[in-house]
Structure 1
Amino acid sequence: MCLGLSHNTAPVDVRERHAFPPQKMGEALIALRDYQAVREALMLQTCGRLEIYAELEDYEAGVGQLRTFLNNFRHGDVNDMDSYMYTLLGTQAIDHLFRVSTGLDSMLIGEAEILGQVKDAYVQAQRARSLGKTLHTLFREALEAGKAARTHTSISGESTSIATAAVAFAKQHVGELDGKSVLVVGAGKMGSLAARRLRDDGASDIIVLNRSHARAQDVAQNLGGVARVAEMPGLVNALKDADVVVTSTGASHFIVTPGNVAEAMLARPSRPLFIVDIAVPRDVDPEVTRIAGVGLVDVDALKGLIDVTLEKRREAIPLVEEIIAGHVERFQQWYQSRVAVPVIASLVQKTEAIREAELARLFGRCPELTEREKILITGMSMTIVSKLLHSAITRIRGKAVENRAEAMTHARMLDELFELQALGDGELVQLAALEDMSE
């Protein structure tokens, strides 16, 4: 299942209120492991969404525990989330993730960053050990779908990111960037991308300001001779020099405030200042717009420009949806075939144990056998076992995809006939979950 909110359902002030600080994401994932109904979990947070993907013992209990987790971990009231949150189950959740990874559900269709963000979320969950076989397989499939969409369609053509849209928006308001002074606050992935696009679009004086001076220097060096570095205590002085500000930090509070903007504007009363805030939570206090000469847009305000510039990408949507359908079907076949896994594994293990024991007994009774003869006999025994099991394994796997109820009957019959004891209570619960998913 998927529980979340996004730019489609919640404005930026709601998304920022419920955003998880990036440095606490690992802690949050570890906390999720303690909830009884949550078997596996992964959290995806970007400027446009906060989503929890989970494999649950029981949907009703699991969703309730995820909401409890949000309330407890955020240490605040999350009741307002009900107005903005969506809950997707089974195939809906799978299809949604693939639309996210291919960029179809992004604010900017086909945006370049989302695939990397999905991968980062997957890696974080791996490190927190909150992934199991299901979400591991699901997210590997989602990453493959995202790569295929970008390789085989034009979904990521033309303008490729929120940062790029931010630069285009700034140019609409201040004109060409040549001769303008631009301040980039934040030297993370989005800030670095914005700085590169600003340079490519003609900005010849770029100030990179970041809490980590070393990181700011790295970004500035990659821009060549057009960039210089400022430290966070020098924000007011940097604002005094800037015509345009693009900000994207991971701070949980406002970095650019009415106080420091007003102080900067006193030194430049005749020069306007235009700010593009693409951070979530926002970096810029909306109250700065009360100061004369100051303009501000946030990430949600970019939607209008984005809608106008995406016609070519929209042409690729049907092809991307075909790619998604193929990957969804492949994952579902794998998911449904799990009904056969415990029985097949136990059957193979038991037959292999019998084969090895009988060979050992034979070789003990016939010490005159040469090594070559032993190899030939061992090979023949493996061939016999493989041919005997092949038909049963192939049929039960096929039935698991075609008809889960019949596959469950076959699995139970094999389990009983061969005294495998492969289907304990946990496996039977998992088999029932396969039925729930299809419904």
Structure 2
Amino acid sequence: MSEVLAIGVSHKTAPVAVRERLALTPGRLAEFLRDTLAVGDVQEAVAVSTCNRTEVYVVAGDPVEAESAVLAMLARKAGIRPTELANSIYALRNCDAARHLYRVTSGLESMIVGEAEVQGQVKRAYDEALTAQTTGPLTNHLFRDALATGKRVRSETRIGERRLSVSSVAAALASEQLEGLDRREVLLVGAGETSELAARALADHGVEAIFVANRRRDRALSLAQRFGGQAMSFDELPAQLVRADAVICTTSSPHPILTGDEIAAVMEARGGRPLLILDLAVPRDVAPEVREVPGVSLYNVDDLSAVVRRNRSVRQVEAQHAEGIVEEEIQRFAEWLGQLEVLPTVGALRARGQEIARQIVRENAGRWESASPKDLERVEALAQAVVNRILHEPTLRMKGMEDDRIHLRMQVIRDLFGLEEEQDGALAVQPPLAEVRELHRSRRQQG
């Protein structure tokens, strides 16, 4: 049977220096998904890539082969050996994979517990896979249920209270570092969702002026107008960097847009005034060597962890309630997933019993030379009745299973009875018992 597999890295397992090398930009996501379907018997694929994680969810007939293949793809993407990446990678199967996705969508796996932005990020990832036509029955059910779970968590708990996000924490850190943001000027580099959240948080902190730089001037203008700021092109960045008190970078550029040499020149023009840079992008917008430029204070998404820890205790009680909701929803998913395997396993088990009965009849065919066709029918009926009687109770129990261990139990049954799968993923079913009659007729004619 096909299995669900989740393979990925997150802020819990890998630093930003590794995560940025695995980030899947919107332009490359569809290509990566289609490439995934070409390896390791992968039948379905969805990839979630945010500043804090890159995760690939696949459905495959051979999860071991699929895990190895996807790991190799991610290693090539990062430009490192799979063995080096293995320490940062986690691989989860079936209900464990679903539980992880449900937790991600609910904000339980976020750096800032309960952040709302991750739900939209997961939805966009699923929409990208739908557009690329790489989803299927299992991933469709999995992601729709995960999104519904995230929505339920936020409607039934207060885990998202105060709407904390990486952007709001960055604004709080800027306020702390600059001893308040009143009458301060802040430059936003990028005009996406993260920048919008940052602009809103900065406005709440009393920032005097917000400047927005983006490659697409229309988006920069739209964001600036909403928060009483000004829009500019990337060509105007150097001049504004000299003027700003703080810079928040949020683009999805695959390469740094602020280098050490550029910032060194900016600091020289600032005449000794310090500059605070908050890089919220993955891959990073600001080259690591900028941290060494005198007068610059550079923070990336991993550096926000200290601020995050101060907010974490506020949400722990609500997080426990959310955990309970996730487990309820996982139970439903487990039952659905298990039922996908019960009927094929029951059918294959009965087919195996019939084959054993046929084999015994064949092995003893030579002892019944004088048996009439009626006698042979009685022997076959008796053999079939024995098979049905033996398998009756196991069949009822298998059909009645309703817990999150159904998949494991079905796997044990298939292993115990040697119920091998055919290449198309269907459990093998043997030909009908009637072929035994033909075998006996053939032998009687030969005799």
- Considering the TM-score relative to the shorter chain, is it more than 0.5? yes
Partner of 1:311: 313
* Alpha-carbon distance, 1:398 to partner: 4.8
Instruction: Indicate the residue corresponding to 2:89 in structure 1.
Output: 85
Equivalent position to 2:201, from 197, 204, 228: 197
Match of 1:42 among 39, 46, 50: 46
Indicate conservation of the 8 Å contact 2:256/2:286, yes or no: yes
Q: Give the share of equivalent positions with the same residue, in percent.
A: 36
- Indicate how the Cα distance of structure 1 residues 213 and 64 shifts in structure 2: closer, same or farther if over 3 A, else same: same
Kindly tell me: are residues 155 and 62 of structure 1, through their superposed partners in 2, closer, same or farther at Cα, counting changes over 3 Å? Answer: same
Aligned mate of 1:241, from 243, 247, 256? 243
Whether 1:426 aligns to 2:428 is: no
Change (3 A) 1:304 1:74: closer
Which residue of structure 1 aligns with residue 34 of structure 2?
30
What SS does structure 1 have at the residue aligned with 2:109? coil
Shift of 1:97: 1.0
Structure 1 residue 138 displacement after superposition: 0.7
* 2:301 maps to 1:299: yes
8 Å contact kept, 2:187–2:241: yes
CA RMSD of superposed structures (Å): 2.7
3-state SS, counterpart of residue 147 of structure 1: helix
Deviation at 1:55, TM superposition (A): 1.2
Give the count of matched residue pairs.
367
Deviation track 1:220-248 (CA, whole Å, cap 9, x = no partner) reads 1111xx30011111111110110011111
| Alpha carbons of structure 1 residues 5 and 304: separation in structure 2 relative to 1, 3 Å | same
Question: Residue by residue, what CA displacement relative to the aligned partner does 1:184-211 show, whole Å, maximum 9, x if unpaired?
Answer: 0010110111012111211121100011
1:403-422 matches, cutoff 5 A: none
Query: How far is 1:158 from its partner?
Result: 2.3
1:399 equivalent in alignment to 2:400: yes
Distance, in Å, in 1 between the alignment partners of 2:398 and 2:209 is 63
Task: Give the direction of change, closer, same or farther, for the CA distance of 1:79–1:252 in structure 2 (3 Å limit).
Answer: farther
Write the mapping of 1:40-439 to structure 2, written as runs, cut at 5 A.
40-72=44-76, 77-223=81-227, 226-339=228-341, 398-399=399-400, 401=402, 426-428=425-427
Provide the C-alpha distance between the structure 2 equivalents of 1:71 and 1:54, rounded to a whole number of angstroms: 17
How big is the shift at 1:313?
A: 1.1
| Cα deviation digits, residues 72-124 of structure 1 (max 9, x gap) | 55666444211211111222212111111111111111112111111111111
Q: Counterpart amino acid of 1:254? A: P
User: Do the aligned partners of residues 406 and 178 (structure 1) sit closer, same or farther apart at CA in structure 2, a change above 3 Å counting?
Assistant: closer
Give the whole-Å Cα distance in 2 for the aligned partners of 1:28 and 1:18. 11
User: Residues 325 and 262 (structure 1 numbering): CA distance in 2 closer, same or farther, change over 3 Å?
Assistant: same
Structure 1 stretches of 5 or more lacking a match?
345-394, 409-422, 430-439
TM-score (ref. length: structure 2):
0.77
One-letter code of the match for 2:246? V
Q: Is contact 1:4–1:51 with CA below 8 Å preserved after alignment?
A: yes
Per-residue deviation, 1:304: 0.6
Q: Deviations over 1:315-370 (max 9, x none)?
A: 111110110011100111111112367799xxxxxxxxxxxxxxxxxxxxxxxxxx
Paired amino acid for 2:400: K
Q: CA deviation at 1:266?
A: 2.0
Q: Contact (CA 8 Å) 2:345, 2:427: kept in 1 or not?
A: no
SS of match in other structure, 1:106: coil
Change (3 A) 1:190 1:301: same
1:358 alignment partner in structure 2: none
- After TM superposition, give the deviation of residue 143 of structure 1 in Å: 0.5
Q: Give the structure 2 partner of residue 432 of structure 1.
A: none
Q: TM-score, normalised by structure 1?
A: 0.78
* Larger of the two Rg values belongs to structure: 2
SS of the residue 1:44 aligns to: strand
- Partners of 1:268 and 1:255 lie apart in 2 by 19
Counterpart-to-counterpart distance in 1, 2:78 and 2:178: 40
Q: For 1:191, give the aligned amino acid.
A: S
Distance 2:345 2:112 in 1: 46
SS state of the match for residue 292, structure 1? coil
Q: Deviations over 1:144-191 (max 9, x none)?
A: 110111111111112521000000011110022121110000101101
Q: Which amino acid aligns with 1:28?
A: F
| Contact 1:340–1:396 under 8 Å retained in 2 | no
Alignment CA distance shift 1:266-1:73 (3 Å): closer
What's the CA shift for 1:311?
A: 2.0
